[in-house]
Structure 1
């Protein structure tokens, strides 16, 4: 004990030194907390999907509020159907293609994933509108399912155009994508005005009139009619064709955006040259 007290190299505990160590320990812990905190923040894509879903709910709620002033059942139901159609086939592409996304073109696969997640979110919310309309309009289960599938496949095809337009941060590419979306929605009615004779050759006869197989608005108009005027025969073939086209398009877009990896055999042997 005496030797420990006499040794000048061994100094007693310094309170200032202990206080500095405690402060350093607290500062390191606070720095670790600061480093960990950003990891728990939601990603930009997640926040965008939440905002889009909230806006979609408000859009449908506004359409439902307008139907309260319509006395007839079928006109009110059709107003709600077309409110959802314009929101899903026009407002969603316009909103998505107008976003500034300088980081998206660097990761094309992420663009495809985010677009598909948005489509799934919008379709899930739409179920809260379609199935209650079945009760109001007295539709059969088949008629309601075909109307639901019509919304799904045409919006999936619209999502394909959105994903293609967002692959690169090019205003011209996005404008072209939006023009394709408008043509997809209004192409059938415009073709009837421009070439009525050609439309008469390719149109499908229905109890309510003629419809074009590539017009989502005409399909939704016929499917939202009274149950007594419903016929499932032409819509089944139309939906199968649109589903095949959308599936091939999504597969093709995924293939062309697949990252190219270089194999070890293709790289030059730098060690041998050295």
Structure 2
């Protein structure tokens, strides 16, 4: 979908209005929920005082708990709807950015700004919160893409490229196009200092997660401790081999990883934090990249 600047602004404003309305509805629902929960607490207090659960209180608690569950489900739906609007705004802005770039208006970031942008992008990546029994989709946390998946224009990927010395390295890149006839991607190095464009076979491109996994609801969608992964080294745009040392405990936490570094006695540098979206399954290749 393409948007003119005016259309994009209108679409964003409409969603902002919807978010404002939803926030007010969520607050009303939360207030109603609190009232029900207070009644449940008071009823339990009375039962404790009387030392028994009479048929009256059994029916009353049953009704209160039914109401509380219904209220919670309604609040959940409102929150999910608000999050959906936020993600739609994110997609609209990204679409406009891609359109602008395709029109020849290439973005230019200073190094510090680029690092801040990458961090912000990781923090605002959509969070998958599954419902009971719901399966975690591909490209959520540690769940890989399907073998037939094709990354879309504007998606971030890890790309295996050769430098001037013919050494191979995994870099952070952005997808420009995919040619199904040749099974090759055209990607841009995200590093403004390089500004290199690469044409790569599909096996040399690994899509990054499109959603964060919630450790509290979907711990299975995270890499287990001790997993060998590729992780984006902090303040760089290159991926290196690392071992997961500590998992995220909440939806806003990073992984703690140990990067390979032969200058240390045990072969690993001190632990560093890396966001979920920059930690992916490792790919074996000739001439492994190592920190030096």
Report the TM-score when normalising by structure 1. Answer: 0.27
Q: Which structure's residues are more often helix, by fraction? A: 1
Q: Which structure's residues are more often strand, by fraction? A: 2
Report the TM-score when normalising by structure 2. Answer: 0.26
Higher RCO, 1 vs 2 (CA within 8 Å, ≥6 residues apart) = 1
Q: Which has the larger radius of gyration?
A: 1
